[in-house]
Structure 1
Amino acid sequence: MQERTDKIALAIVISIFALILFDLMGLIIKHLSPRYSAAELSAYRNLFGLVPSVIALWLNATWRRGGRSLRIRQWKLAAARGIAVTFAQLMFYISLGLMAFATTTTISYSTALFTTALAYPLLRERVGLVRWSAVALGFVGVVMIMRPGSESFSWYMLLPLGASALYAYSGVVARLIDPDVPTALFNLYSSVFAAVGSFLLALSVSRFTPIASLNDLGFIVLMGMFGGSAVLCLVVSFRMTEPSNLAPFSYFGIPIAFVLGWVFFDEAPIDDLLPGALLIVLAGLLIIYREQRLGHAARVAKRADRSRREGKL
């Protein structure tokens, strides 16, 4: 029992480290945005982010035991996920260049709400009143942050919301892969399609800007490595324990983003974020709590069914 507790604690630490890496990636994107387009930065992030994706696959024991095959039946599903990530990144990166860092990050945490909303049409998963109420509560929080109709509202506030919807789609789609396909292999496929898609998108909307300095090149490499390493850390943490044990800690990213935005860009949009951010967090935690209860009930029912079958033998 102690060993399991220690493993969960380590998984939580790794997942929080992933949040820090994601936020550091966002800081670099915001820093580089005045000189490079969002499409360019997305392309660079996906290119250098392939390195941790390859490492994640190489370290995957299931893939190595299975003969190290690189073929998957659902490559079209991986392509759809990669394309969704391409456009999600484009919208999120544009918003990072136009909005306060903490505000963009906080709105992006509506991903959990979109994930719940997409669960029924894509997975045919029953979504009850509690989770729909949480979705409604979370979107009230988003509206309070965006303040449509006020002087502070602008169309680009919709960008992180659109990015969240596409990120949620990519997460839900990942649950449709065949059980025997290693997550790392599917993630690598998606990453390759995202890299190709982001480069084509960058070439179609603008030419690549010459990298101004070695300093900028270093930031670009770090951006990709931070993003790819964050994904790798999340893969590792989710393999160590159940997602429900980690999900509540994902909201640590909001105060982390606020502190980083304040330190590096002298932004402190606390009046814009409250109380909307609290409603988003509350809604997310309510969804997590409900999923934990449903998961626990399903495990209890499964154990009871197994006991009945064993009793008949």
Structure 2
Amino acid sequence: MNRSFLVIILFPTHHGSMKTDRTLTAVILLLCALTLFDAMGLIIKHLSPRYGAAELAAWRNTFGLIPSLIVLFTSRDWHAKGRIWKIRQWRLALTRGVILTFAQFSFYLSLGLLTFATASTITYANSLFAVALAAVLLGEKVGWIRWSAVLIGFAGVVWIVRPGGDSFSPAALLPLGAAACYALVGVTARVMDSEVPTPLINLYSSVVALFGALILALFMGGFTPLEHSTDLLWIMAMGGLGGSAVLLLISAYRLAEQSNLAPFNYFGIPLAFVLGWLFFDEAPWSELFPGALLILASGLLIVIRERRLKQA
């Protein structure tokens, strides 16, 4: 599951000023979550030669239900509202799960075909898609600064993907498609009824994504028998790392406002590069730079603009 996507859909922000120590704790939790998500991605890439992307997504979502249920059952808001399960906009909630299915499948597939840092970096374009989709679907007014940021980020993505160039790989379109799907899931979360607890919305998406991954896996030939006994441990670690990362993200965004933490999300770009270099001996300098810097700059420009609007 993509990190920025989780930031968009899962966590309500708290109003009022936050103490410095709480914000610092939130930043530490966020950075730990990003590290765990990248560790999960490393395991997916490690297992990709032996197991399909749909299979891995199914295993990931199976274990991912555990943190979703933990968050829901520990949600004061959910208990206060009578522990509801059925929501009025259940069709929209299920649709978001279907979109999430394809987002996960595309991203997991790209991890097996591209360098780790390249696949991870391209998915950060989801913030750019989110701005455009919010303008189209939600009717948000997007000023020239944010549109400029979108264009800068898009130029960075094009620089990395290099369509029409000798080094172009169609696989590079997979994380780009995943980024668009993640952004669509995030934007549509904002039209859900405000009285519905966020963990319940996430649980709907997680359950549908699990069944969607199961269907994709069966359609593509079924599940591959475990080749090595250690693979089961890797699969359990994949789900455990992803689930733990979700819990850390939830904790982080309950301690501090999203606008204070958003710049630290881009810590994942250099982290993915370092991890890919350490574990897979990948150093895609020519693929990522300067495109990755343009994506980073565009994201930070959007963050700065949002904070100024909030202060105003």
Quote the Cα distance in structure 2 between the aligned partners of 1:95 and 1:3.
39
Match of residue 291 from structure 2: 276
* 1:196 aligned residue (199, 211, 219): 211
Quote the Cα distance in structure 2 between the aligned partners of 1:3 and 1:130.
28
SS in 2 for 1:157: helix
> How many aligned residue pairs are there?
297
Is 1:224 matched with 2:239?
A: yes
Offset, 1:130: 0.8
Quote the Cα distance in structure 2 between the aligned partners of 1:198 and 1:45.
9
* 1:151 aligned residue (163, 166, 174): 166
Match of residue 12 from structure 2: none
Quote the Cα distance in structure 1 between the aligned partners of 2:44 and 2:262.
25
Quote the Cα distance in structure 2 between the aligned partners of 1:192 and 1:199.
11
Name stretches of at least 5 consecutive residues in structure 1 with no aligned partner: 298-313
Superposition pairs for residues 254-265 of structure 1, below 5 Å? 254-265=269-280
SS in 2 for 1:179: coil
Is 1:211 matched with 2:250?
A: no
Q: What is the CA deviation profile of residues 97-126 of structure 1, one whole-angstrom value per residue up to 9, with x for unaligned ones? A: 011000111111101101111011222111
TM-score for both structures, normalised by structure 2? 0.92
Offset, 1:67: 2.2
Distance change >3 Å, CA 14–CA 51, structure 1 → 2: same
Match of residue 73 from structure 2: 58
Offset, 1:80: 1.2
* 1:90 aligned residue (105, 129, 137): 105
Quote the Cα distance in structure 1 between the aligned partners of 2:189 and 2:26.
21
Match of residue 282 from structure 2: 267
Quote the Cα distance in structure 1 between the aligned partners of 2:100 and 2:201.
14
Question: In 2, are the aligned partners of 1:19 and 1:230 still within 8 Å (CA)?
Answer: yes
Letter in 2 for 1:103: T
Match of residue 134 from structure 1: 149
Question: In 2, are the aligned partners of 1:52 and 1:225 still within 8 Å (CA)?
Answer: no
Offset, 1:3: 6.6
Quote the Cα distance in structure 2 between the aligned partners of 1:269 and 1:98.
14
TM-score for both structures, normalised by structure 1? 0.92
* 2:196 aligned residue (170, 174, 181): 181
Seq. identity, % = 58
Quote the Cα distance in structure 2 between the aligned partners of 1:123 and 1:241.
26
SS in 2 for 1:36: coil
Moved more, 30-39 or 225-234: 225-234
Offset, 1:2: 9.9
Quote the Cα distance in structure 1 between the aligned partners of 2:257 and 2:138.
19
Question: In 2, are the aligned partners of 1:51 and 1:225 still within 8 Å (CA)?
Answer: no
Match of residue 308 from structure 1: none
Offset, 1:65: 2.1
Question: In 1, are the aligned partners of 2:18 and 2:256 still within 8 Å (CA)?
Answer: no
Superposition pairs for residues 74-85 of structure 1, below 5 Å? 74-85=89-100
**Aligned-residue CA RMSD in angstroms?**
1.4
Moved more, 88-97 or 232-241: 232-241
Bigger radius of gyration:
1
Offset, 1:206: 1.9
* 1:12 aligned residue (6, 9, 27): 27
